[in-house]
Amino acid sequence: MNQFVPLEKRSKRQQRQVYAARRGSWNGVNPVSKVIPSGKAYRRSKTRIDWDGEPPRSSWRGDLGGLCYSAGTVLSRW
């Protein structure tokens, strides 16, 4: 007659076998939680632009009066 041996008293190999048998398959489901990126966060990849030597045009001109300033020099007039 087999006596019941608690899991804590079994060898590590037998414990691993029992735990592996208890674990099931996720059937293709990824258990990692998904995080929706914040719309307020700064993303370098989104702001990267191929300039071709000319600054990007913007509908907002602010207080610059249509001038694009860089380090005190006028780059271009929109």
Residue type, 70: S
Rg (CA), the chain: 31
DSSP conformational letter for 19:
H
- H or E segment at 69? strand 67-70
pTM, full prediction: 0.35
- H or E segment at 77? strand 73-77
Alpha-helical segments (H) within 1-78: 12-22, 44-47
Residue-wise pLDDT for 15-69, tens only, equals: 999 999 998 888 888 888 888 888 888 877 765 655 555 665 665 555 555 555 5
The dihedrals phi and psi of 67, each to the nearest 5 degrees, come to -100, 145
- Asked whether residue 8 carries a pLDDT value surpassing 80, the answer given is yes
- Higher pLDDT: 1 or 10? It is 10
